[in-house]
């Protein structure tokens, strides 16, 4: 028998391009989230600035997050541009815990603008946390039915996404989450940027949410920066 999994979705204040400052904010969020897994938005460490230099998982600027994960017993799923093979860069989700950071997933479905700078990943990814299988997604991925289907077939308990949407797109974000939950009978956790994120997003949607496999919202943050939503998987 596995224990219930407490998961939080966060929408921290972001300073575009400033990985070091954003890592400190991420660390404070991890400490306050009271969760085993804390999910952050797409490119949360840099803001949605597509010309930001890519980083590596061993970047020393991530140390505050590692230290916070040690203290809180948490894993943080954070967004960043990362170096890949043969000089390619990817929009990625890093898994950070008390042992350090690893690249957990490369975004598969890129926008036209993103594809001018980044290379898509080549396969879906699942992360096992305490016996819970978390399928990983980044923004546009969640709107592509094939992505959810290809991830779900790997055997998942939850579909976890870091996203960025404008205020006007908030309903689209909800529709996607509800569809994935009900079509694949899995929990869905969406961490959505709030406030100004760079890249032309002067006011992002926020409203990070966690959905049960029945398509019911268990908890939802507001539109403000700094908000966190939290739920316990296994209690619905």
**Beta strand 37-39 pairing with 5-10:** parallel
Number of structural domains, the chain? 1
State which residues form the domain around 158: 5-233
Could you tell me the CATH number of the domain that includes residue 220?
3.60.110.10
Render each residue's pLDDT in the chain as its tens digit; 236 residues: 789 999 999 999 999 999 999 999 999 999 999 999 999 999 999 999 999 999 999 999 999 999 999 999 999 999 999 998 878 899 999 999 999 999 999 999 999 999 999 999 999 999 999 999 999 999 999 999 999 999 999 999 999 999 999 888 899 999 999 999 999 999 999 999 999 887 778 889 999 999 999 999 999 999 999 999 999 998 65
Q: What share of the chain is helix, strand, coil (3-state, %, to 5)?
A: 30, 35, 40
């Amino acid at each position: 028998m596995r224990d219930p999994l407490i998961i939080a979705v966060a929408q921290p204040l972001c300073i575009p391009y400033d990985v070091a400052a954003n890592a400190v904010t991420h660390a404070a969020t991890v400490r306050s989230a009271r969760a085993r897994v804390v999910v952050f938005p797409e490119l949360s460490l840099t803001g949605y600035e597509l010309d930001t230099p890519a980083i590596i998982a061993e970047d020393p600027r991530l140390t505050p997050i590692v230290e916070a994960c040690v203290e809180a017993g948490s894993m943080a799923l954070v967004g960043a541009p990362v170096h890949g093979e043969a000089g390619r860069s990817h929009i990625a989700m890093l898994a950070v815990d008390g042992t350090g950071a690893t690249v957990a997933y490369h975004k598969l479905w890129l926008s036209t603008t993103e594809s001018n700078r980044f290379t898509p990943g080549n396969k879906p990814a699942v992360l096992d946390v305490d016996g819970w299988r978390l399928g990983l997604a980044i923004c546009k991925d969640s709107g592509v039915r094939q992505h959810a289907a290809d991830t779900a077939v790997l055997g998942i308990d939850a579909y976890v996404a870091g996203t960025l949407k404008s205020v006007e797109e908030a309903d689209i974000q909800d529709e996607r989450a509800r569809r994935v939950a009900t079509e694949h009978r899995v929990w869905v956790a969406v961490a959505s940027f709030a406030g100004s994120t760079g890249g032309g997003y002067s006011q992002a949607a926020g409203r990070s949410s966690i959905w049960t496999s029945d398509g019911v919202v268990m908890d939802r943050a507001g539109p403000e920066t700094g908000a966190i939503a939290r739920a316990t998987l296994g209690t619905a």
